[in-house]
């Protein structure tokens, strides 16, 4: 293992962490980097004009938004910025994708969804039933709470056009084998759409290594503003009809999927995330830090993953000792298997009663179905108001986890 993540350095980039609250609801929304706010302010205060004009400020604004698209392309390892579609949320981008891609489907074509995804990657595909598309459901095994590729294989037919799946469950924290899934899907001539919302805060996305056709996640859960990105292989984006004005189509991607254009300042602000990951790598690696941004991102996220495994182990080890507590997902913190999004239920206890007892201690946790309603229904937790979820990220400390454990001793 490399030298540990230096939390004082990390936390200095998040002004909100200097307050009184401990934030353990990060899967719902992370805290925001100072660098993101600085970039946003810089854009609004010095280049807040329309793009594409001949005058100097407009040229500067155009260059800034283009630089942002390149930065985000680097973040996900897209081959070109034209494969990066930005928008207000993952839910909206997936809805745009289903509308556009759905026009290429015929009645009788099939789509596979799961019972484990956030509803954003289910409902938009279910709506295609109105066009005569058949929907099949790939379910996790109730004994392991994991997907089995054999079950997906059984659902695939010559009419299967798309499989929609999550990279990491926002309930279970489980990492799904996306590359193996993509290989199976492509062997059947279908496409794969991955919701990476619960994955991207914890691991560096590599759309080329995963060989996915579409990949979507939200920046407000990755230390940025309420904004999102959808990667799509250019060959698909070019062929699909867009939703913009009639004269913005064909190869005008990503613009044809961005009516009203992108949000300029939010796009530019995401360079603050790139700046931060570069700073983490350079601070920790010293003269071993890579010279290029993408490799710096790899170095930063390797340290993040190692540290988050330690965080997750502290809480999971505690919960595992409680006979009346059931951990929903992998009971160990192995970073190859899960992220530190940890859900549990307490025997005979309504999940809604637990966070309210933690609130007075200035610790933010949450209960519910987290828009994975179908999973909660299938697991039988809806009647007790879902699960209790503690979702940690790399700026959390072991001392914060210990403080939560102290409170849990009086609550659980």
| CATH number (domain holding residue 250) | 3.40.640.10
Boundary-marking domain end, from 218, 245, 273: 273
Q: Where a domain ends, among 218, 244, 273?
A: 273
Q: How confident is the model at residue 4 (pLDDT cuts 50, 70, 90)?
A: confident
DSSP string, 180-246: HHHHHHHHTT-EEEEE-TTTTTTS---HHHHT-SEEEEEGGGTTS-S-EEEEE-HHHHHHS--SS-T
Are 19 and 74 in the same domain?
A: no
The residues near 151 (Cβ < 8 Å, ≥ 6 apart) are: 138, 139, 141
**Integer distance in angstroms from the first to the last C-alpha of the chain?**
34
Task: Mark which of 220, 241, 273 sits at the end of a domain.
Answer: 273
The reply to whether 330 falls in a domain is: yes
pLDDT per residue as tens digits for the range 239-285: 999 999 999 988 899 999 999 999 999 999 999 999 999 999 999 99
**Residue 235 shares a structural domain with residue 200:** yes
Per-residue b/e over 267-301, b at no fewer than 16 CB within 10 Å? bbbbbbbbbbbbbbbbebbeeebbeebeebbbbbb
Same domain, 23 and 56: no
CATH number at residue 340: 3.90.1150.10
Query: Are 144 and 25 within one domain?
Result: no
Q: pLDDT averaged over the chain? A: 97
* pLDDT interval class at 3 (50, 70, 90): low
Beta partners for residue 216, in sequence order: 195, 230
Range of the domain at 251: 37-273
Contacts of 260 (CB under 8 A, 6+ apart): none
| Inside any domain, residue 280 | no
Full-model pTM: 0.97
For 121, list phi and psi in degrees, rounded to 5: -105, 20
Q: What's the rounded Cα separation, in Å, for the pair 365 and 95?
A: 29
Cα separation, 238 vs 80, in Å, equals 13
Counted domains in the chain = 2
- Domain-embedded: residue 122: yes
């Amino acid at each position: 293992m490399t030298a540990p993540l230096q939390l004082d350095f990390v936390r200095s980039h998040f002004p909100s962490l200097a307050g009184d609250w401990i934030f353990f609801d990060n899967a719902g929304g992370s805290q925001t980097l100072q660098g993101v706010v600085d970039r946003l302010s810089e854009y609004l205060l010095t280049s807040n004009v329309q793009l594409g004009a001949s005058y100097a400020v407009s040229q500067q604004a155009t260059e800034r938004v283009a630089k942002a698209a390149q930065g985000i392309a680097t973040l996900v390892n897209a081959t070109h910025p034209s494969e990066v579609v930005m928008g207000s949320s993952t839910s909206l981008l997936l809805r745009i994708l289903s509308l556009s891609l759905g026009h290429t489907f015929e009645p009788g074509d099939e789509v596979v969804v799961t019972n484990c995804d956030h509803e954003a990657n289910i409902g938009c595909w279910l709506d295609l039933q109105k066009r005569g598309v058949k929907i099949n459901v790939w379910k996790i095994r109730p004994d392991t709470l994991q997907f089995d590729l054999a079950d997906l294989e059984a659902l695939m037919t010559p009419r299967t056009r798309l499989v929609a799946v999550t990279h990491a469950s926002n309930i279970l924290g489980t990492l799904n084998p996306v590359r193996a899934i993509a290989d199976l899907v492509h062997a059947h001539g279908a496409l794969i759409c991955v919701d990476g919302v619960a994955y991207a805060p914890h691991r560096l996305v590599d759309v080329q290594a995963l060989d996915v056709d579409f990949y979507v996640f939200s920046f407000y859960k990755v230390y940025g503003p309420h904004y999102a990105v959808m990667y799509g292989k250019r060959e698909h984006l070019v062929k699909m009809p867009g939703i913009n004005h009639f004269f913005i189509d064909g190869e005008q991607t990503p613009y044809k999927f961005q009516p009203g254009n992108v949000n300029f300042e939010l796009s530019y602000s995401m360079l603050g995330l790139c700046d931060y990951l570069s700073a983490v790598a350079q601070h920790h690696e010293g003269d071993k830090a890579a010279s290029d941004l993408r490799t710096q991102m790899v170095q930063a996220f390797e340290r993040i993953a190692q540290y988050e495994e330690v965080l997750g182990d502290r809480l999971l080890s505690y919960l595992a000792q409680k006979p009346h507590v059931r951990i929903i997902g992998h009971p160990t913190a192995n970073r190859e298997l899960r992220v530190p999004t940890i859900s549990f239920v307490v025997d005979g206890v309504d999940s809604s009663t637990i966070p309210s007892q933690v609130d007075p201690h200035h610790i933010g946790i949450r209960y519910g179905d987290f828009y994975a309603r179908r999973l909660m229904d299938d697991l039988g937790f809806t009647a007790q108001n879902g699960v209790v979820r503690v979702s940690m990220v790399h700026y959390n400390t072991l001392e914060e986890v210990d403080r939560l454990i102290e409170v849990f001793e009086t609550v659980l």
